[in-house]
Structure 1
Amino acid sequence: MPETTNDLDRRLTARGAATRARIVASADELMALRGATATTLDDVTAASGTSKSQFYRHFPDKSALLQAVIALRGNRIIEREEQVLGRIDSFSGLDRWCRAILQRVTARRGAMGCELGSLSTELSDQDEAARIDLDAHLTTWISLLAGVLKRMQANGTLAEDADPGTLATGMMAAIQGGYVLAQAARDPGPMQVALELAMDSVRAHAK
């Protein structure tokens, strides 16, 4: 049976989607190594094996590419955290979550920082669209932590007068600070301290 116009359109659309995904993935990898500012469009097209005309078919400018990278990273992190944090309702579960963070940082010897936090530090003061997108992902991450603490309140593990939103924000602030200090020191030690202090702040409200 001969190929129809609809078949051809679907094939071209799939090819275009694959090209776009390849561009974003290459940009993500390069920005993780070099930073967003230092990564040029020439770098991205070379790494993704695409031409400038192909790039501009999918992105009007670098800012649009940055938004796509933020979406990729944000969705990746939120999906991972939903799978883990969505099941936690105890101090032991939170401890395991903290240990997993420390293990990732230790494996990299402190390098690279947080996928979202590093972009926020670099971009939030110069790209408003990026700042808004990053804030949305980080806020979602905090809400997942708050969900853990609400379940702990519901099962009687955490005191009723504890504020899950405030505690979750404090934990995220400690963790992001731990990423920054561990990255600068090339040492996971600061992250370990940050996680211990974050957990101490929650344990202070144990029932």
Structure 2
Amino acid sequence: MENSHAETEKRSRLTSKGKETRARIVAAAAELMFDRGVAGTSVEDVQKAAKVSASQLYHYFKEKRELVLAVIAYQTEAVLQAQQQLLEELDSFEALRAWCDAIIELQRMRQCKGGCPIGSLASELSEQEPEARVELAEGFARWERSIRTGLRSMQERGELAAEADPDRLALGLLASLQGGLLLTQVRRDTEPLRAALDMAFNYIRSFAAGVRD
């Protein structure tokens, strides 16, 4: 994305101390926006949480919109990094089940609060901020690609039937995850997430080699 490339180039020109300060600001903003929402988080709130002056904050982010875009990038990396090992090994039904169970356990540990860091931003920003929507769509696309890569590996090994469509299965699984996370957040109960992931998993499992012969 053009904006992402520009931001990367801009960050590359920062000193080590500058990068640390910027990272602290973004991390503070991400935490506040996850807890309060974007609309409920002011620039002044971020300034206080990051323990920086107004001039420091505006040195890195000229307006709140720039900070929000940085938070989207931060949350995307955080979500994918937290799942990296499981996603890299997502090449068997056992690994797929383990990934589903890990996400359910994470929500249980969070007491079902907050939902998906990327999904929460998407629900708040997609209709009001076109640039943010594009960045969020790319974040979801990266997540989907990681799932799809694992499913394709299963198909290449013959564990997943040739007639299975990894693209559609990956998209369906991610959509099930997002819907399950939303209902789990509303109900403060992991059962909706478990039900959504179980149904998606069982559907993918129905394409196990030999099952449909």
Q: TM-score, normalised by structure 1?
A: 0.91
Counterparts of 1:82 and 1:186, CA distance in 2? 26
The structural deviation recorded for 1:175 is: 0.3
Counterparts of 2:88 and 2:75, CA distance in 1? 19
Q: Which residue of 2 is the match for residue 129 of structure 1?
A: 131
Q: Which residue of 1 is the match for residue 51 of structure 2?
A: 49
Matches within 5 A, 1:42-191: 42-191=44-193
Counterparts of 1:143 and 1:88, CA distance in 2? 12
The structural deviation recorded for 1:200 is: 1.4
Counterpart of 2:27 (choices 17, 20, 25) is 25
8 Å CA contact 2:90–2:147 kept in 1: the answer is no
8 Å CA contact 1:88–1:94 kept in 2: the answer is yes
Q: Secondary structure of 2:195's match? A: helix
The structural deviation recorded for 1:171 is: 0.3
Deviations 1:87-120 (A, max 9, x none): 2221111001110011001112211101111111
Amino acid of the residue matched to residue 164 of structure 2? A
Counterparts of 2:63 and 2:132, CA distance in 1? 13
8 Å CA contact 1:78–1:137 kept in 2: the answer is no
Q: Which residue of 1 is the match for residue 42 of structure 2?
A: 40
Counterparts of 1:82 and 1:22, CA distance in 2? 23
8 Å CA contact 1:113–1:179 kept in 2: the answer is yes
Structure 2: state its 5+ residue gaps.
1-13
Amino acid of the residue matched to residue 33 of structure 2? M
Counterparts of 1:93 and 1:189, CA distance in 2? 21
Amino acid of the residue matched to residue 25 of structure 2? I
Q: Which residue of 1 is the match for residue 197 of structure 2?
A: 195
Counterpart of 1:206 (choices 180, 186, 208) is 208
Amino acid of the residue matched to residue 45 of structure 2? D
Counterparts of 1:109 and 1:77, CA distance in 2? 18
Counterparts of 2:90 and 2:17, CA distance in 1? 40
Q: How many residues align?
A: 196
Structure 1: state its 5+ residue gaps.
1-11
Amino acid of the residue matched to residue 20 of structure 1? R
8 Å CA contact 1:81–1:144 kept in 2: the answer is no
Q: Which residue of 1 is the match for residue 11 of structure 2?
A: none
List, as ranges, runs of 4+ consecutive aligned residues in structure 1 with deviation greater than 4 Å: none
Counterparts of 1:184 and 1:94, CA distance in 2? 25
RMSD: 1.2
Q: Secondary structure of 2:83's match? A: helix
The structural deviation recorded for 1:82 is: 3.4
Identity percentage over the alignment?
Answer: 41
Q: TM-score, normalised by structure 2?
A: 0.89
